[in-house]
Amino acid sequence: MEFMGDNHWAALAGLIGGGALGLSSSIGRFCTLGAIEDALYGDDYSRLRMWALALAVGISGMFGLEALGLIDYSQSIYYTLKWNPLGSIVGGLMFGWGMALAGNCGFGALSRMAGGDLRSFIVAVVMAISAYMAIGGPTAVLRDWLFPQVLHEGEMQGVAHLVGRWFDIGPLLPALAFAAICAIWAFSGKTFRTSRTHIVWSIVVGLAIISGFWATNLISVNGFDGITVESLSYSAPLGETLIYLMTWSGATMNFGIGSVTGVLVGSAIGTKIKGRFRWEACDDPRELGRSVFGAFIMGTGGVVALGCSIGQGLTGFSVLAYSAPVVLASIFIGAAFGLRYLIHGFQKV
């Protein structure tokens, strides 16, 4: 198929992986903020356990494929840029706080937008704009001054690689041990282990992350266009998609644009299957303003942290990058404070 260039193949890979995530959200109820809310205020850890099992699948799959020589993720953003701990913490806190105010992360906004939620449409657009502002716009100057992103040279910046160097055993065994811990914790919950829906869609999410890395690595090795090795993330790709829609004739498809489209398509299909489509909007101007402000903070925070709840919390975590657990923990803390702020605010009304 000569009309399919490397960028188009990468976009197709993103479409498939994003579609799987979209289905997992609309059918399996896989959601970052929802998992945090359930755990903090509903004493229900089932959706957090979904996250743990997805990580177990992603980590074991990635390091297993690396050991077989089928994947090289060393050229991904998590390893080519020097880890900035302060950027991971501040960016994660900003993203979590903004996610609570907006009521969704970028991935969640895309999923709900496909189900007729107009507020999520606003969140996705504002987040796209703020992310690109932080990459190359007005806020990029401040971001680069406070949290510089410089190229990394030297040993792999991964937890499994660090432990492997300590014991001279390579990264595979430490990675599998961490994956086992995640899986054991996931299945320790009776509600989770007796729910086929939770288990199946957790596995789908983990496989979606693996598929992105595997496909872009394959295209990078065999292609000619210098495709970046990456997987699913929803901060910068939202901005890339918006730019592409506005400059169709002068823009190029890529993995991120495909993954954004995939979430929309997958979520729309899942919503149709479940019969959940309905038009929704903000209840009042205050909610709209809070959503816009939260989305702006999220987009900026996602760029500072080099990834969102999906980009770092799943994709970066699947290769056990130094940054991933720090960003994910910071997102959780930021979201917890944001939710507490909202709840106390409602109590005062």
Q: What pLDDT, on a 0 to 100 scale, did the predictor assign at position 303?
A: 97
Identity (one letter) of the amino acid at 218? L
> Can you give the pLDDT at residue 15?
97
**Would you state the structure tokens that stand for residue 191, as one six-digit string?**
């509600």
pLDDT per position as a tens digit, 303-323? 999 999 999 999 999 999 999
Question: Alpha-carbon distance 297 to 59, whole Å?
Answer: 29
Q: Which domain holds residue 84?
A: 6-348
Mean pLDDT by 10 residues, the chain (349 residues): 78 97 96 94 95 98 95 93 96 97 94 94 96 94 94 90 93 97 96 95 98 96 88 95 87 93 97 91 88 96 96 97 97 95 64
pLDDT for the residue numbered 3 = 61
Is 175 inside any structural domain? yes
1 inside domain = no
pLDDT at 167: 92
Q: Is 203 part of any domain?
A: yes
> For residue 154, how many C-alpha atoms fall within 13 Å in the half-sphere facing its CB?
9
The answer as to whether 201 is a domain residue is yes
Quick one: which of 39, 245, 31, 230 has its CA closest to 128? 245
Which residue, 6, 11, 9, 87, is CA-closest to 240? 11
Decide: 228 and 255 in contact? Cβ < 8 Å: yes
Structural domain total, the chain = 1
Residue 81 forms beta bridges with which residues?
151
Considering the entire predicted model, what is its pTM?
A: 0.94
